[in-house]
């Protein structure tokens, strides 16, 4: 089955700790995205990548980092600099600029 796989489904982070969220797609899409969703708010873009070894900051990139070493993979690291990381994180991909976007099932991150 083609799709986007995010792991883990739930993640708990201690204060001062970095954590990495995984996103893998087997759709052969060039573009990949990370969004953050908070209750009552629309999704906000964290980072996006058009091609391997290239990525750009979105609207709320502070406290986050990404890499794009393989076309299929776009991991997101939530660093200790992110002051309010508790949220639902969604990874997406699209073949091209004006094509349909597909989303993974999300990772819920909680600070403990």
Partner 1 sequence: KQEVTQIPAALSVPEGENLVLNCSFTDSAIYNLQWFRQDPGKGLTSLLLIQSSQREQTSGRLNASLDKSSGRSTLYIAASQPGDSATYLCAVKGPDSWGKLQFGAGTQVVVTP
The residues of the shown chain that bind partner 1, judged by CB under 8 A, are: 6, 31, 33, 35, 40-45, 48, 50, 56, 58, 90, 92, 94, 96-106, 108
Q: Which of 95, 69, 72, 71 is nearest to 25 (CA)?
A: 72
Per this entry, what is the length of the chain?
112
- In angstroms, give the least distance from the CB of 24 to partner 1: 14
| Closer of 7 and 17 to partner 1 (Cβ) | 7
Number of neighbours of residue 91 by Cβ within 10 angstroms: 26
- In angstroms, give the least distance from the CB of 70 to partner 1: 19
């Amino acid at each position: 089955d083609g799709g986007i796989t995010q792991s883990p489904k739930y993640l708990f982070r201690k204060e001062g700790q970095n954590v990495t969220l995984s996103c893998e797609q087997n759709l052969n899409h060039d573009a990949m995205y990370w969004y953050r969703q908070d209750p009552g708010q629309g999704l906000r873009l964290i980072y996006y990548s058009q091609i391997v070894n290239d990525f750009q900051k979105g609207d709320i990139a502070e406290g986050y980092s990404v890499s794009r070493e393989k076309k299929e993979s776009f991991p997101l690291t939530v660093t200790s600099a992110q002051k309010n990381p508790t949220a639902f994180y969604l990874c997406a991909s699209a073949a091209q600029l004006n094509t349909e976007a597909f989303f993974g099932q999300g990772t819920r991150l909680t600070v403990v």
